[in-house]
Amino acid sequence: MSVLKRTVFAFTLAGAVVALVLPATAEEQVPPPRLKWSFAGPLGRYDQGQLQRGFKVYKEVCAVCHSMSMLSFRNLAEPGGPGFSEAQAAAVASDAKIQDLDDKGAPTERPGRLADYFPSPFPNELAAAAVHGVAPPDMSTLAKARTYQRGFPWFVFDVFTQYQEQGPDYIAALLKGYEKAPQGFQLPPNGHYNRYFPGHNIAMPPPLQDGQVTYDDGAPQTLDQYSQDVSAFLMWAAEPHLVQRKRIGLQVMIFLIVLAGLLYFTKKKVWHNA
Amino acid sequence: MSGHSTYQPQNKFLQWFEKRLPLGGLIHSSFVVYPVPRNLNYLWTFGGILAFMLGVQIITGIVLAMHYTPHVDLAFKSVEGIMRDVNFGWLLRYLHANGASMFFLAVYIHMFRGIYYGSYKEPREVLWILGVIIYLLMMATGFMGYVLVWGQMSFWAATVITNLFSAIPGVGDAIVTWLWGGFAVGNPTLNRFYSLHYLLPFVIAGVVVLHIWALHVAGQNNPTGIEPKSDKDTVRFTPEATVKDVFFLAVFCIVYAWFVFYIPNFLGHADNYIPANPAVTPAEIVPEWYYLPFYAILRSIPDKLMGVIALFASIVVLAFIPWLDTSRVRSARYRPLFKQFFWLWVIACIGLGWLGSKQPEGIYVIMSRIFTVYYFAFFLIVMPLLGIFEKTKPLPNSISESVLGAKA
């Protein structure tokens, strides 16, 4: 096994050499603070209450400008998600207006059904860009499409600590990251200064303030709480089967470790006489 | 060096069948009584692991293909459909995407092992070259598979890589247009990549058969690099080697499962969760980790054509090492100088991999150049010269002597 040890050693050494030789380069992106997420780690699962609050923030604030075209109303009632009942999800759907064709092929509008996808606020990207300057990104995969550079050696540790929540950390920080532009920072018109946005100039105006969304479950109605809840909701939207994945993962791990152990002793037995 | 087959079926039907097609005898001689050097360490289990990974990729890939739509407007959506609405689609896709990474991880260990123990040397040159061909096919297949997702990084990786061919003088641009099937990466490109991504794994499987055939002709190398001389030097393939292979495969699967179930997007790029958009160039275009060393070599050279030549040369040079290495001793165990140069080369490869993920500026470029020069020097200067000047350690008389000597 000394070869394996040497390999590990070589990897570590190579990394160390590189890290020592290079001065830390000025990061363009400010790393967001790490938050506690219920869905982190091997036993992680979504907090239903948090997802329901996050959905409320999304529906009342985000959905005004952002589409989430890959989710349908039925997803809201599926296991591992926000835990709405089917009737609740159907009620949410029926509030939405869906563009459709009637029996004679004429365009019509009807209330949504469980099978419908979330309707988008704009008919297409051009229309969205015409209103906002830049088309607000679709939110279906947003929590997996945003991250920040972890850098060496942190990305190596992330393999072992299973840190996979860069996306929600970044989004939560961004929502709270609006500041006055520092002296000398050239902010274009319609731009907003955000501490965590790469390059700091973000087109989206600050979307959330304290007290903006009313919670029914007594959770604090603060920017802090809103941003964390909606980030958790976006993570679920991007990875709706995370809970199932981690649950099966644990079973697979236990199975494989037991299997490998048994095979090890089988191997010892077989080789004993070889 | 196939084992002496003693296969004599008792069953009447099998006897009848064996007379007409001696399949049982072939399997028996190749995978049961086939003699294996008794001193193989766990690095020799990666051949079996690679065969397993090829199987996993083909099976998950065939099911994924049933749900995937190769069209620029639908590809990304269909992948998300697999992730959301196909039963266990997320599992299939994460197995396939991380399976590619595990496949490359295993092949790199397999290749490093081959170089360390001189497995490419006479009489295993053809075996080694077949391996280099498999590796090239794997790179093409992996690249095209990554494009199929049709995210931002898929699209821009396809653009960058196909554009490499434009460096060819005179006909470069015509070749690129031909590869694209249009004047930019678009629907025809996606369709042909899909077709080839489905085809190439079966080509790989074919070359793997030749690779295993060549292996069974020459027999396995081993950590001492000397050939087995008597029955005492070998064990049977089954059960000794198989149980060892299967044990380590299970250990390997723990690592694989760790990635699939707990950090499935760790090795991917966040930008690939943004649908492909030809109008927006990502801040940085980075290939998958397993291509990074070659990407660093490409970018370390200021001239585009020379960079592309260096990129391809860095892989093609592997096919020539059976003749570039002039040493008569195979294993680095008995080659003290080669051993040091080898580990330096491993560091260069890993360093290049890290540099491939960095912007090509300042000290990164200088380091890439140093590592690139050493990468080639290892093959073109160190290997030929060491064989002449190196004072090697005395070889043991036989494999069994080296094993017993280590125990005593």
Hey, are the CB atoms on A10 and B347 less than 8 Å from each other?
yes
Query: Do A260 and B251 contact (CB within 8 A), yes or no?
Result: yes
> Residue B32's pLDDT is what?
93
Nearest residue of A to residue B357, measured between CA atoms = A151
| d(C-alpha B298, C-alpha B311), whole Å | 5
Gyration radius (Cα) of chain A, Å: 24
Closest CB from A7, A164, A256 relative to B266 = A164
Nearest residue of B to residue A21, measured between CA atoms = B363
> Residue A172's pLDDT is what?
98
Closest by alpha carbon to A92, among A108, A73, A107? A73
Q: Is A109 helix (H, G, I), strand (E, B) or coil?
A: strand
Closest CB from B84, B254, B274 relative to A70 = B84
CB pairs under 8 A between A and B: 125
Hey, are the CB atoms on A257 and B254 less than 8 Å from each other?
yes
Q: Spell out which residues of chain A touch residue B80, defining contact as CB-CB under 8 Å.
A: 70, 140-141
> Residue B404's pLDDT is what?
74
Paired tokens of A184: 């000398």
> Residue A152's pLDDT is what?
85
Query: Do B38 and A271 contact (CB within 8 A), yes or no?
Result: no
Minimal C-alpha gap between A183 and chain B (Å):
26
Nearest residue of B to residue A152, measured between CA atoms = B354
Q: Spell out which residues of chain A touch residue B264, defining contact as CB-CB under 8 Å.
A: 245
**Model confidence at A120: pLDDT above 50:** yes
| d(C-alpha B140, C-alpha B305), whole Å | 20
Hey, are the CB atoms on A241 and B84 less than 8 Å from each other?
yes
Q: Spell out which residues of chain B touch residue A252, defining contact as CB-CB under 8 Å.
A: 257, 261
Closest CB from B80, B247, B264 relative to A263 = B247
Q: Which residues of A180-189 are buried (b: 16+ CB within 10 A; e: fewer)?
A: eeeeeeeeee
Q: How many CA atoms lie within 13 A of B245 on its CB side?
A: 18
pLDDT single digits (tens) B91-125: 999 999 999 999 999 999 999 999 999 999 999 99
Residue A106's CB is within 10 A of a number of other CB atoms, namely 7
Paired tokens of B360: 């090509």
Mutate to test the interface with B, among A159, A257, A269 (most CBs of B within 10 A): A159
> Residue A274's pLDDT is what?
74
Domain spans of chain B? 36-281, 286-396
Mutate to test the interface with A, among B41, B52, B83 (most CBs of A within 10 A): B83
Closest CB from A146, A167, A245 relative to B90 = A245
> Residue A193's pLDDT is what?
96
Nearest residue of A to residue B81, measured between CA atoms = A70
Query: Do A147 and A170 contact (CB within 8 A), yes or no?
Result: yes
> Residue B1's pLDDT is what?
45
| d(C-alpha A131, C-alpha A115), whole Å | 29
> Residue A1's pLDDT is what?
44
Mutate to test the interface with A, among B41, B79, B115, B254 (most CBs of A within 10 A): B254
Hey, are the CB atoms on B243 and A266 less than 8 Å from each other?
yes
Minimal C-alpha gap between A108 and chain B (Å):
25
Q: What kind of architecture, by CATH, is found in domain B36-281?
A: Up-down Bundle (1.20)
Paired tokens of B137: 């096919």
Q: Spell out which residues of chain A touch residue B260, defining contact as CB-CB under 8 Å.
A: 249
Closest by alpha carbon to B190, among B202, B179, B176, B204? B179
| d(C-alpha B165, C-alpha B174), whole Å | 9
pLDDT single digits (tens) A192-223: 999 999 999 999 999 999 999 999 999 999 99
Q: Which domains does chain A have, with CATH numbers?
A: 27-71+118-257 (1.10.760.10)
Minimal C-alpha gap between B121 and chain A (Å):
20
Q: Spell out which residues of chain B touch residue A138, defining contact as CB-CB under 8 Å.
A: 275
Hey, are the CB atoms on A263 and B246 less than 8 Å from each other?
yes
Q: Spell out which residues of chain A touch residue B235, defining contact as CB-CB under 8 Å.
A: 274
Closest CB from A11, A146, A270 relative to B239 = A270
Hey, are the CB atoms on A248 and B91 less than 8 Å from each other?
yes
A17: confidence class by pLDDT, cuts 50, 70, 90: very low
> Residue A18's pLDDT is what?
46
> Residue B83's pLDDT is what?
98
> Residue B367's pLDDT is what?
96
Hey, are the CB atoms on B247 and A267 less than 8 Å from each other?
yes
Hey, are the CB atoms on A245 and B91 less than 8 Å from each other?
yes
Hey, are the CB atoms on A15 and B367 less than 8 Å from each other?
no
> Residue B389's pLDDT is what?
95
| d(C-alpha B331, C-alpha B40), whole Å | 12
Hey, are the CB atoms on B261 and A137 less than 8 Å from each other?
no
> Residue A190's pLDDT is what?
87
Question: Measured in whole angstroms, how far is the alpha carbon of residue B356 from the centre of its chain?
Answer: 18
**Model confidence at A107: pLDDT above 70:** yes
Superfamily of domain B286-396: plastocyanin oxidoreductase (1.10.287.980)
Closest CB from B240, B254, B265 relative to A256 = B254
Q: pTM value?
A: 0.93
| d(C-alpha A224, C-alpha A202), whole Å | 20
Q: Give every residue of chain B whose pLDDT is below 50, as ranges.
A: 1-2, 408
Closest by alpha carbon to B291, among B184, B165, B145? B145
Hey, are the CB atoms on A17 and B347 less than 8 Å from each other?
yes
Mutate to test the interface with A, among B80, B249, B273 (most CBs of A within 10 A): B273
Paired tokens of B241: 């080697």
Q: Spell out which residues of chain A touch residue B102, defining contact as CB-CB under 8 Å.
A: none
> Residue B406's pLDDT is what?
55
> Residue B408's pLDDT is what?
43
> Residue A10's pLDDT is what?
54
Hey, are the CB atoms on B90 and A241 less than 8 Å from each other?
yes
